[in-house]
Amino acid sequence: MQLNTIRRGPAAGAGVPIVFIHGLGTSAHSWDACAEALADRHLTIAIDLPGHGDSPCPDDDPEAFTRDAALADIDDVLASVDGPAILVGHSLGGYLALAHAATRPNAARGVVAINTGPGFRDPDKREGWNVRSRRNAHRFGVPEHVTDLNLQHDSIVMDRLADIATPTVVLAGGDDRPEYQGSGQYLERKMPDARLVVLDGGGHSMHEDTHAIAVADIIASFAATLLP
């Protein structure tokens, strides 16, 4: 199953591509303000994860809602653009961007992970996360089986942090839950080329609200450092 993609910006694809990956229960449209702010410099592509937005939501295909299926769909999107792209992900999308970098070295030009973390090494903590994800499906407005995208079955990102050479910005909202800043500090310590940026006043979905332009500016500044 291939992800539905929404393209914004120059039709010719001018500029370094940026691929946006949304969080659980939202859609590609959550990136509208950021994409618009960046479209004069970049080709921007926002994707709908399975069961979200305009993407299919099959009831009889549990394999459609796995991390590996989502990563394969991201591969398809990256293959459709010229040159390596920057992956920008929020929450679940940020984890997927990190997982992509962990399992596909050098496939992306860079990663911006917003209000997210690398998962859990402790099996009990992973299972606790999984139980909460399933229990809170109604809060995210998705069927319970769609939350399988959010489940943690291993510690592959945690285990490979020291090997992820992809330049990374971990962006945390100053008004979001403290654990996201803690995760950012951890990633900054453990990854070879990661930097934590805390956006004062930003909440969990700061890319959607009045902080969207500030988020876009941080992404643009980071992208400028990656140009050949």
For residue 166, is pLDDT > 50? yes
Q: What is the pTM of this model?
A: 0.94
**Residue 6 — very low, low, confident or very high, per pLDDT cuts 50/70/90?**
very low
Average pLDDT over residues 191-208: 98
CATH of the domain at 199: 3.40.50.1820
Q: For residues 54 and 102, which has the higher predicted lDDT (pLDDT)?
A: 102
Phi, psi (degrees; rounded to nearest 5) at 155: -120, 35
Instruction: Provide the CA 43 distance to its chain's centre, in angstroms.
Output: 17
CA-CA distance, 69 to 55, in Å (whole number)? 13
Could you give the 3-state DSSP secondary structure of residue 154? coil
Q: What is the pLDDT of residues 95-153, one digit of tens each?
A: 999 999 999 999 999 999 999 999 999 999 999 999 999 999 999 999 999 999 999 99
Provide the domain count of the chain.
1
Query: Amino acid identity of 144?
Result: E
Average pLDDT over residues 16-43: 93
**Residue 62 — very low, low, confident or very high, per pLDDT cuts 50/70/90?**
confident
Mean pLDDT over the full length of the chain: 91
For residue 7, is pLDDT > 90? no
Query: Amino acid identity of 83?
Result: G
DSSP states of 11-22 as a string? TT--SS-EEEE-
Q: What is the pLDDT of residues 169-181, one digit of tens each?
A: 999 999 999 999 9
- Structural domain that includes position 193: 4-226
**Residue 14 — very low, low, confident or very high, per pLDDT cuts 50/70/90?**
low
Average pLDDT over residues 203-225: 97
The predicted pLDDT at position 10 comes to 36
The predicted pLDDT at position 55 comes to 87
For residue 50, is pLDDT > 60? yes
Cα Rg of the chain, angstroms: 16
For residue 70, is pLDDT > 70? yes
Strand order in the sheet with 44-48: 4-8, 44-48, 18-21, 86-90, 110-114, 168-173, 194-199
